[in-house]
Structure 1
């Protein structure tokens, strides 16, 4: 049965599921420039996993094995797309699982979907992360005075194209927002796909307001309100919600990359974070290609019987 047919039979929104990884474990794989993905389990279910392979066909960890920067000379970064724009399923890199596949976040035994808060439908950007970064939960950020959130640093990609879950794209960093999520620093980078038709116009955070007026305000409001439908208070921000510029953002990236290096070299306590990798030569967590293949084979590929249809409910929140 095709991946698309399986999705439609679950009752999941077609538009959302069509933009998930499109390569089944035994079917044709969607090729990307240097990486492609492989599905295990049924999309839109708790057993779904999207694994990554390099250009040679070997399994890798997107968290650890995909380089942070495209090259050493330019400030171009690899972004791993987790959530396509306008979709609701909260997909994320599984930081605590071997090889860190993408999965849908589960809370209280149920798949997590972000609410539609009028006028926003799902996520209002292509949302993802920078590889080889880590916000250390035991290290207090000097600028926010809060500890990290234990995840790679998040990216909001503002280009015109709706991307796919599992895509690895090159982005220009434009600025950053400091969300304080339940007392933790949760940085949100603002970036644009270098292949976007308008990418040449964007160089720093001020260009976003200039060429996409209202987008930064919408971003601030989205992050402020997105947990309110779940009964939680509005989120807070450092710097009174001010977006910091590109130079500031690059320093935050540099800092989180150093934290990741310490994690992979076992120079700090990563807790439950899984550091299994194949390409970090001096890391004590490095494994072989055969070991990586065995880890993937342990993941069940049978369909999940439960139905997880996304609720298309809109929330209207007053200011």
Structure 2
């Protein structure tokens, strides 16, 4: 299925104007709303949109507030954002991205974490050996989930593996990760705990004392965030409120009041640059940040 999607861009990479658009059949679509969550609902195989390839540092994310929800680089205090290399890690230690058609509702307090959602599609760490590229649509299976409490918000971190990975048939639940990827779960927890510290932020906290919940729990979280997205796309939850302002333009959800019949944004079409589906690895800040306390 991933080959059915193409990547186009506008602007210069690593600038605030850079945007990565996803196309299907040569038409721009919304990766947030138009790519289905399930690639195979019976086998519970889900689609994942790669925002940040493994070993890279540029903090890209789906722009939930922009029309067609392109992928853009996060901006803080007027500067594009790069995650620092906290020793012994280099950038992101997995392919990092999001599941389409999911939403962590900021108006709802989770009964398990006692915190509101972070207003984004649910995050996923894909642990397979292939390094992805920005805008790639991978088919993955869910293995588990951690609950990061990021500045007081629930920020779920799914653990998943590409179904085409050589180990995919052997890795089916979170306990298999420890067997075939020893120490990766501990490293993942540690990475999320410290990654903001070089920028002067405190260590992040976790629900469940940092425990990584199993596949069954994780799939329930995915279902919950999918239901939240359904309420949003169907207009049952307002797309604009004090907590959020989301662009709902889509082409595939016939029950949505925001659905568009055709893509007719000719100005955008003129400036889009077609990209080959390439491995996308950059290194803007190769410095290792040694922290006095590794917590």
Q: TM-score, normalised by structure 1?
A: 0.85
1:289 to 255, 262, 270: 262
Map of 1:171 onto structure 2: 140
Question: 1:269 maps to what in 2?
Answer: 238
How large is the Cα RMSD of the aligned pairs?
1.6
Q: 2:278 matched to which residue of 1?
A: none
How do 1:38-187 residues align onto structure 2 when only pairs under 5 Å count? 38-54=8-24, 56-187=25-156
**Counterpart position of 1:279:** 252
Matched residue pairs, number?
Answer: 280
Partner of 2:183: 214
Q: Which has the higher contact order (CA 8 A, sep 6+)?
A: 2
Q: Secondary structure at the residue paired with 1:128?
A: strand
Deviations 1:12-50 (A, max 9, x none): xxxxxxxxxxxxxxxxxxx95211111111112111111
Give structure 1 stretches of 5+ with no counterpart: 1-30, 302-308
Paired residue secondary structure (1:178): strand
- Secondary structure at the residue paired with 1:207? helix
1:310 maps to which residue? Answer: 284
Q: Which residue of 2 is the match for residue 246 of structure 1? A: 215
Pairwise CA distance, 1:288: 2.8
* TM-fit CA distance, 1:207: 0.5
The aligned counterpart of 1:12 is none
Normalising to structure 2: TM-score of the pair? 0.91
Which whole-Å CA distance do the structure 1 matches of 2:71 and 2:79 have between them? 17
C-alpha distance in structure 1 between counterparts of 2:272 and 2:22, whole Å = 16
Deviates more, 1:88-97 or 1:263-272: 263-272
Structure 2: distance between partners of 1:144 and 1:32: 34
Q: In structure 2, do the counterparts of structure 1 residues 298 and 288 end up closer, same or farther at CA, with 3 Å as the change threshold?
A: farther
- Indicate the residue corresponding to 1:23 in structure 2: none
For 2:262 and 2:76, locate their aligned partners in 1 and report how far apart those are by CA, in whole Å: 32
- Is the contact made by 1:47 and 1:300 (CA closer than 8 Å) also made in structure 2? no
- 2:280 is aligned to none
- d(CA) in 1 for partners of 2:64 and 2:267? 15
Aligned equivalents of 2:221 and 2:239: distance in 1?
19
Once the two structures are TM-superposed, the CA of residue 295 in structure 1 deviates from its matched residue by 6.8
Call closer, same or farther: CA 1:183–1:298 in 2, change over 3 Å. Answer: farther
Partners of 1:83 and 1:128 within 8 A in 2? yes
Instruction: Provide, for residues 105-130 of structure 1, a one-character-per-residue CA deviation record: whole Å limited to 9, x for no partner.
Output: 11110000001000000000000000
In 2 relative to 1, CA 295–283 (structure 1 residues): closer, same or farther, beyond 3 Å?
A: farther
What SS does the corresponding residue of 2:220 show, helix, strand or coil?
Answer: helix
**Partner residue of 1:237 out of 206, 221, 227:** 206
Give me the whole-angstrom Cα distance separating, in 2, the residues matched to 1:296 and 1:260. 26
| 5+ long unaligned stretches in structure 2 | 274-282
Whole-angstrom distance in 2 between the partners of 1:229 and 1:150: 25
Note if contact 1:98-1:295 (Cα within 8 Å) is conserved in structure 2: no
